[in-house]
Copies of this chain bind each other. A is one copy, B any other.
């Protein structure tokens, strides 16, 4: 019997700095209604979906940035998402800034069952950018200031989604560029990776080599390779468009275990894309070319965990 998952990715257009959570939540509820009407069983929203991408704004005193974080979920402002999920019987993935009761700050995402229960929680491990104000940059990217690296690893859980049980994992934005993150999920038989992002259209660190038109290609390359090499589906979901003058690219995609793009957003605004995912497709790679037990040689991978940065290789000299 075919295990089919109807998957929706709900790209969000820009959220301006001055806009409250009510605006974003209202837009997400409408997208969720559309997704449910089209038969989707899960809808994936982006990273930091409730506010503007605030790590571009410097705040010397971190305690004055508290308004960007969620202190509890659902809150009064975000409750409509939980209500809509229950009403429509649809699960959802939500990225948000988390501040814990004991004062830790994470870039977090959850997958929520239609009942309102949190099924899976993940905190972003690969924080890009920097922690102090950088006078050389035209635009700051202060994720290392606003968040600690995630402390939950890369968990996978098997949970009911629509009519089937699905092995679910989460990556957030920059995580998608790191094959280590994908592999840790693959080693837990992940079938669907939900990955929200806020990615600037321009690389503020560019030193003359990276053509700006490659930004989207790199995002797609990393997601497609991650899916192919780990025999899984993914929803890569953008917050897109111009936030207070700062451009984020869109091009949200749904990708299958062969690395093929099944659906792609083409606006830089709120946009729903949807795909019928045959979960049986995850099996081909796992039983053949990427049968890990048969082919991996972990004795030769030790550098991956024993070494964080790179080291210069030995030099060869002619006799």
Task: Give A159 to B312 CA distance when docked, in angstroms.
Answer: 12
Q: Which residues of A approach B to under 8 Å, CB–CB?
A: 113, 115, 117, 119-120, 125-128, 149-150, 153-160, 165, 167, 174, 177-184, 186-190, 203, 205-211, 214, 217-218, 221-222, 224-225, 228-229, 258-260, 280-281, 283-284, 286-298, 300-316, 318-319
- Check A312/B281 contact, CB under 8 A, given A153-B300, A217-B259, A305-B301: no
- Check A209/B284 contact, CB under 8 A, given A183-B304, A295-B126: yes
Give this chain's copy count.
2
Query: Do B301 and A304 have beta carbons less than 8 Å apart?
Result: yes
Query: Do A308 and B298 have beta carbons less than 8 Å apart?
Result: yes
Chosen A-B contacts, 9 in total, with CB atoms closer than 8 Å, are A126-B295, A157-B316, A158-B316, A189-B310, A203-B289, A207-B284, A210-B258, A217-B259, A291-B309
Question: Which residues of B sit under 8 angstroms from A304, Cβ to Cβ?
Answer: 180, 183-184, 187, 298, 301, 304-305
Looking at the complex, which one of B186, B221, B258 makes contact with A209 (CB distance below 8 Å)? B258
- Check A316/B179 contact, CB under 8 A, given A184-B301, A217-B259, A292-B309: no
- Check A318/B160 contact, CB under 8 A, given A180-B296, A302-B305: yes
Looking at the complex, which one of B181, B206, B286, B315 makes contact with A165 (CB distance below 8 Å)? B315
Query: Do B117 and A210 have beta carbons less than 8 Å apart?
Result: no
Query: Do A225 and B188 have beta carbons less than 8 Å apart?
Result: no
- Check A115/B159 contact, CB under 8 A, given A167-B313, A309-B296: no
